[in-house]
Amino acid sequence: MKQYFIELNDLTGDKVSVQGSFEPGLIDFSGENLQQVGIMDWSIAAERAGEEIRVVGSLKTNVELPCSRCLEAACCEVVKPFDLFFRQRDALMFDEDEEVELDDKETSTAFFTGTKLAISEILREQLLLALPMKPLCKVDCKGLCPSCGSNLNVNTCQCPQEQFSPHMDKLLELKKRLEERSS
């Protein structure tokens, strides 16, 4: 695999722009519960912004995640623009054991060591941040039976259905509307 890096010594005054595509498997997602199933197209432009490095870019790919209701594979398209700031990490900047309060600007700044930024690591992080919180295989996924664990999209189980009080009808209607809106 060709390694892509932003060489920080090259950022003297002009923007450095790079773009490319990563086949599935080139970025390691082994610790995550996802699989890249399409080519990841990306572009990045880096420039110096005072003492910081500003990295602006975007990525687009397809990933497969477990559905949050039935655990079957859910395919999601991920399109993510990003605008990041990086600052050289000073050894004296933080004491690992000391609590430090950060302001809003500092929470949007990442720290690095060395003279290179690995593009694959930036893209990996941005893709993980862009994933849906509750991926669904389909909008009307019925999920798993809470009693026997059967996939209700495929099978109907013989478990007794929960009986709700008629006073719960309004709450169930509200729940249904909220689920439809979040899907």
Helices (H), the chain: 104-107, 119-130, 169-182
Q: Residue written as tokens 């910081």?
A: 52
Half-sphere exposure of 100 (CA within 13 A, CB side): 11
Query: What are the tens digits of pLDDT across the range 138-173?
Result: 999 999 998 888 999 998 888 887 666 777 788 888
Whole-model pTM? 0.74
Q: What is the mean pLDDT of the chain?
A: 84
Query: What are the tens digits of pLDDT across the range 86-141?
Result: 887 765 555 566 776 766 666 667 777 777 888 889 999 999 999 999 999 999 99
Which amino acid makes up residue 99?
E
Q: Which residues contact 183 (CB under 8 A, 6 or more apart)?
A: 136, 139
What does the block give as tokens for 24?
């599935």
